[in-house]
Amino acid sequence: MKTYNYTVFFEPLSEGGYNVVVPAIPEICTLGETLEEARTMAEDAIRCYLESATALGETIPKDMTLAREPIKESLSITLKVV
């Protein structure tokens, strides 16, 4: 049995819950009402993807090395009163 590791992002949603993003496997689309549920859903989605890719003889993607960098940008707005 081979073990695969993937970076997963849990994006909080304004209406509650979490959207799950797996950069190395963009086909994955899942979410959860709680962080724990989102984590379980991510694990299940990754497992399903890997099982399907293996059965079809597709290449299993490697995890991506991601860079994170905040970018600060200023915007000056002039309001016109009519």
- Whether residue 35 lies inside any domain: the answer is yes
| Max CA pair span of the chain | 70
Instruction: Give kind and range of the element (H or E) at residue 52.
Output: helix 35-55
The answer to whether residue 55 scores a pLDDT higher than 90 is yes
| Percent of the chain at pLDDT exceeding 90 | 79
**Looking at the predicted structure, is the pLDDT value of residue 36 above 90?**
yes
Residue 23 included in any domain: yes
Residue 37 forms part of a structural domain: yes
Look up the domain containing 43 and give its range.
9-55
Domain contains 50 = yes
Q: Count of domains in the chain?
A: 1
